[in-house]
Amino acid sequence: MTPVSSKQYADDVSLLMVLIDTNPLFWSSTAAPLPFSKFLSQVLSFLNSILLLNQLNQVMVIATGLNSCDYIYDSSLGLTTQRVETLLQKLEEFVIKDEELNKDDSVDGIGSSLLSGSLSMALCYIQRVFRSGSLHPQPRILCMHGSQDGPGQYVAIMNSIFSAQRSMVPIDSCVIGSQHSAFLQQASYITGGVYLKPQQPDGLFQYLTTVFATDLHSRNFLQLPKPVGVDFRASCFCHKNTIDMGYICSVCLSIFCKHHKKCSTCGSAFGQPQTNVSTSNQKS
Amino acid sequence: MPQVRIIAKNFMDMVASLPAIKLDKLYHNPFICEAILRSMPPLAKKYVLQMLYIDVPVTASLLNEWVLPDGASKHRVAVDRLIQLRVFTELVDRKKETTYVLNQMFKMNLREHIINGGEPPRKPMAANITVRLPSLEDLDNYAAQQWECFLLHLINSAEAEVTTKSISPSMMKVFQRGLLSQRDKEGPRLTESGFQFLLMDTNAQLWYIIREYISNSEDRGVDSADLISFLLELSFHVTGEAYNVDTLDDVQRTTVKDLADLGLIKLQQGRKDSWFIPTKLATNLSISLSDASSRKQGYVVVETNFRLYAYSTSKLHCEILRLFARIEYQLPNLIVGSITKENLYQAFQNGITADQASIKYIVSFLQQNAHPRVAERVPSVPENVTDQVPHHLYSND
């Protein structure tokens, strides 16, 4: 018989940061495959099942709105009794506040949610957990995203992705919208998370439990969806367009779709383009 | 010579060994389903969750497709465990294929939990009742003290205070069975199991005692399944909250009294009602891992010259060290001793076989209880000590 092991945390204890897209423009559009209420009830069941799996599991929910994002639920604050009630109440408050911020400028078409903001918040929280002690559950981020990518957030999102990569936090993506999200494809690819666009959004709960409930330890042993194709295209810094080919600053690596006299990020002066080939650079 | 070994695995091994009818009955209680799910290996948990809403039998070949080649052994362990706990029922269908179905009751209870979230087993004392509750720290101290007192009593130490011990002598006999051996003329001595028992950490010791308590329950006319379900339910209570004793049935009330003697529960008499307050020992019962906060601070420093300094005021610690070391002197907060050949021999006389297992226990005890100052160092116990403690014995033979 072996002496009692001094291991203090089981392998499968996880800290799950769930980012929920609350963009009203997306949920009211035809792109949304299922009503928000149905989506929410499936997600809530998923959160319950994560907390059921291990008493040390922790779930943190961040709402991603159109203009702001906020923590709306933290399972470590105790009170198992009114889990759903507290979450829904906070969510409602958040949506109202988010709407008030919106009144100033009108958005045309489906606006994009503030994914960069909520990713940063999730990473900040994870950093705080990392620093709070030597013992912590294994963190991962799950983005439940529906609305389109906002090319304007390109730099901020890429920065978040790289800092997640540095701190070894996988970003899982569950894309509910009708289109693939290039940002999230890259995020999951770079951080080693799972990217999935459910074929039948009605059965969201089954997708969530089958794929996204897998703790990091079990991922070594289970079959999970493999990345099919990743859209690596970048956005230009000047017009926030997604481009295949463009100009790139040799000093700070900023990307532009047109030739400029000087770099808007670092101020380096560019020479005149001799030929089209010399300064253009294909992103891969 | 047949050897009695203490298998201090965890609660769930005991649950798994229950007869089928009792096990099925246990699954009527949602808390048990929850506790059992949590105790499973990670892959098994995952399978249950995945199959929760699949109502048709799932074939074994389909199940195999979920796993990567690396996970084959873990997969087998998980499926075996699920079958052992009767969560999975194995069927062979017409095409001679093995299929698995989830236990119906288990499935229903978990579905309920996932939709509604967990509810606590009973309501804690309302805030408007003015009973002075002990602070969490007091409660921890109480639990530790109670447990220590019980252990001293258990090993029949002369040091044990003649306090108002309410554990019946017959009960104590049950616990002592296997740990102490009675020889003619001499007083009772520790057996090998008893020796190992004292060197285990509190959670493992607690589990051993609880296991004896459960396996003995039938003699006391208590159904072991009822007892297990109550103990599991107890672990879902909140530490430090008071719960009304009136919500318990008769069997549970006597159990609560016994558990109070072990330090799992603190009983408190209010003006009208009496309350029970679960301590950390109770709420950690179903958790097989040792919680960091329940881990006590170490107190032992071992030097390369085999001298041993223990910063402790506890009589129990002194008794434990006496098992394998010569206590040289005792100061109010410090015990000084040395690990000598003679003492180790002495420890392994009296039927204690000098096999590797017991030695490992001494070394791991020293490591686990290392004083914080030395615990930072690697290794916390000098290498020559960890090497030579076993060597001492073999050189003799």
Q: Are A206 and A178 members of one domain?
A: yes
Record the tokens describing residue B139, joined without a space: 């409660």
Record the tokens describing residue A129, joined without a space: 């957990």
Residue A191 in this model has a pLDDT that exceeds 90:
yes
Is there a domain that residue A6 lies in?
no
pLDDT of residue A205: 92
CB contacts of A7 in chain B (<8 Å) are 289
Q: ipTM higher than 0.90?
A: no
- Tokens 């919680």, residue located: B291
CATH of the domain at A191: 3.40.50.410
pLDDT of residue B4: 40
Q: Are A177 and A250 members of one domain?
A: no
What's the full length of chain B, in residues?
Answer: 397
pTM of the model: 0.76
Q: Which of B50, B114, B289 sits opposite A7 (nearest CB)?
A: B289
Residue at which a domain ends, from A197, A220, A243? A220
What's the full length of chain A, in residues?
Answer: 284
Residue of B nearest to A48 (CA): B114
Is there a domain that residue A189 lies in?
yes
Q: What percent of chain A has pLDDT over 70?
A: 87
Give the residue from B4, B12, B64, B114 with the most A CB atoms within 10 Å of its CB, the best one to mutate: B114
Higher-pLDDT residue of A108 and A38 is A38
- Tokens 């949590």, residue located: B38
State the CB neighbour count (10 A cutoff) for residue B134: 16
User: In the predicted model, what is the mean pLDDT of residues B84-99?
Assistant: 85
Q: Are A82 and A215 members of one domain?
A: yes
CA distance A147 to A111: 7
pLDDT of residue B372: 82
Q: What percent of chain A has pLDDT over 90?
A: 33
Q: Does B308 touch chain A (CB under 8 A)?
A: no
Q: Does B92 touch chain A (CB under 8 A)?
A: no
Peptide bond into B379 cis (omega under 30): yes
Query: Which of A267-281, B35-49, B297-311, B360-374 shows the lowest mean pLDDT across its residues?
Result: A267-281
pLDDT band at residue A104 using 50, 70 and 90 as cut-offs: low
Record the tokens describing residue A180, joined without a space: 């693939």
pLDDT of residue A1: 31
What is the three-class DSSP state of A243? strand
Is there a domain that residue A140 lies in?
yes
The residue type of B192 is E
Residue A216 in this model has a pLDDT that exceeds 50:
yes
Residue of A nearest to B42 (CA): A12
Q: Are A64 and A112 members of one domain?
A: yes
The 10s digit of each residue's pLDDT in B305-333 is 888 899 888 888 888 888 788 888 888 88
pLDDT band at residue A206 using 50, 70 and 90 as cut-offs: very high
Q: Does A81 touch chain B (CB under 8 A)?
A: yes
pLDDT of residue A278: 46
Residue A182 in this model has a pLDDT that exceeds 70:
yes
Choose among A59, A52, A6: nearest CA to B289: A6
Is there a domain that residue A3 lies in?
no
Q: Does B49 touch chain A (CB under 8 A)?
A: yes
The 10s digit of each residue's pLDDT in B168-213 is 666 777 777 767 766 555 566 677 777 777 777 777 777 778 878 8
CA distance A34 to A45: 16
Provide the number of structural domains found in chain A. 2
Residue of A nearest to B292 (CA): A8
Q: Does A218 touch chain B (CB under 8 A)?
A: yes
Residue at which a domain ends, from A166, A199, A220? A220
Residue at which a domain ends, from A220, A255, A273? A220
Q: Which of B43, B114, B368 sits opposite A221 (nearest CB)?
A: B43
pLDDT of residue B222: 80
Residue span of the structural domain in which A64 resides: 14-220
Q: Are A211 and A258 members of one domain?
A: no
Q: Does A4 touch chain B (CB under 8 A)?
A: yes
Q: Are A240 and A209 members of one domain?
A: no
Residue of A nearest to B8 (CA): A4
Cβ of B42 and A9 within 8 Å? Answer: no
The 10s digit of each residue's pLDDT in B237-288 is 877 778 888 888 888 888 888 888 888 888 887 777 788 888 877 777 766 4
User: In the predicted model, what is the mean pLDDT of residues A211-232?
Assistant: 86
pLDDT of residue B147: 81
Q: Are A149 and A26 members of one domain?
A: yes
Q: Are A130 and A98 members of one domain?
A: yes
Q: Are A110 and A242 members of one domain?
A: no
Q: Are A169 and A255 members of one domain?
A: no
CB contacts of A217 in chain B (<8 Å) are 42
Is there a domain that residue A119 lies in?
yes
Three-state SS string over A86-141 comes to HHHHHHHHHHHHHHHHHCCCCCCCCCCCCHHHHHHHHHHHHHHHHHHCCCCCEEEE
Cβ of B5 and A1 within 8 Å? Answer: yes
In this structure, are residues B190 and B180 in contact, taking their beta carbons and an 8 Å threshold? yes
Q: Which of B65, B289, B357 sits opposite A10 (nearest CB)?
A: B289
The residue type of B231 is L
Rg of the Cα atoms in chain B: 24
Q: Are A96 and A166 members of one domain?
A: yes
Query: Which of B274-283, B330-339, B348-357 shows the lowest mean pLDDT across its residues?
Result: B348-357
Q: Are A131 and A250 members of one domain?
A: no
Domains of chain B: 11-116 (1.10.10), 136-283 (no CATH), 297-396 (no CATH)
Higher-pLDDT residue of A128 and A274 is A128
In this structure, are residues A255 and A234 in contact, taking their beta carbons and an 8 Å threshold? yes
